Amino acid sequence: MQNAPRERVTQPSSRPKLKSGKDQSPRLLRINDSGTPDCIPYELIRARRRSMVIQARAEGILVRAPKTATVSEIEAFMQQHAAWIRDHLAACSQVVPFAWQEGTALPVLGSSVRITAAPEVARVERIGDQLAMPPQLLQFRCREAVLNWLRTSALILFNQRVLMQTTKMGIETPPVRLSNARTRWGSCAKGPNGARLSLHWKLYLLPLALIDYVIAHELAHLREMNHSARFWAEVAKLYPDYKAARLELVRSAHTLPSI
Ligand SMILES: [Zn+2]
């Protein structure tokens, strides 16, 4: 974890002033190169200053800009420093290895659930805010048992949620596969034998609303295989508040434990 802010600074500029203070943050920067992540949330603060500065902090990227700077200028500046931003985000989010032991909490559907030894259960079971499991299993195969439980639970839930949305769309329900992709939450493919949907098992750590957003996004691709305005209109039919969810998804990705 690095706490000291890291900075990148621009040259001063002279322009008409925009209003100062915190902008409608957070914003989302789409980075146009091949690295990952490809979307970076950032906060923008306008102030009486002459130069632009990017700060990488544990909580995320903060940009301080002159009142005169336009968003496209700010984002062009960020694009120039994309590699730097990624490196520093990665350094800031260096997490301690996940402790596979009694008492460790992990997020499940957005709530904190604690790994607990429970002699009365026969297998991993979520009981309220506890992830209960037989003591033997906890002691010797905790990681494997929890990951199996997460994957199994994820697949059951994802199938239910996909069915809800395909019913709404009046289309056939594609088979769902769990993915372990490094950089994407979901994908969808149309083939000669129909559509197939892949969803990352780690989505199960996130709130249900975000899972529904990813599903809406992927199902909308069955109608529009691109990210055009027409595509987003399809997403909006299934998930009206998709903009907030999209942002939240990017933010949440940085907070998940590395399991
Ligand atoms: Zn997409």
Contact yes or no for 146/131 (Cβ under 8 A): yes
pTM score > 0.75 for this model? no
Residue 100 lies in a domain: no
Residue 16 lies in a domain: yes
How many Å lie between the centroid of ligand 1 and the Cα of residue 175?
18
At position 146, the amino acid (one-letter code) is V
Residue 99 lies in a domain: no
How many Å lie between the centroid of ligand 1 and the Cα of residue 184?
9
Residues 232 and 125 in one domain: yes
Residues 152 and 87 in one domain: no
Residues 86 and 142 in one domain: no
pLDDT of residue 11 exceeding 60, the answer is no
How many Å lie between the centroid of ligand 1 and the Cα of residue 218?
6
Residue 155 lies in a domain: yes
How many Å lie between the centroid of ligand 1 and the Cα of residue 173?
18
Residues 80 and 159 in one domain: no
What is the domain count for the chain?
Answer: 2
Lowest mean pLDDT among 28-37, 105-114, 126-135: 28-37
pLDDT value at residue 259: 87
203: containing domain: 105-253
How many Å lie between the centroid of ligand 1 and the Cα of residue 217?
6
Closest CA to 175 of 189, 231, 183, 167: 189
**Mean of the per-residue pLDDT values of the chain:** 86
CATH code where residue 190 lies: 3.30.2010.10
CA torsion 101-107-113-119 (nearest 10°) is -50
pLDDT of residue 15 exceeding 60, the answer is no
Residues 237 and 109 in one domain: yes
Residue 259 lies in a domain: no
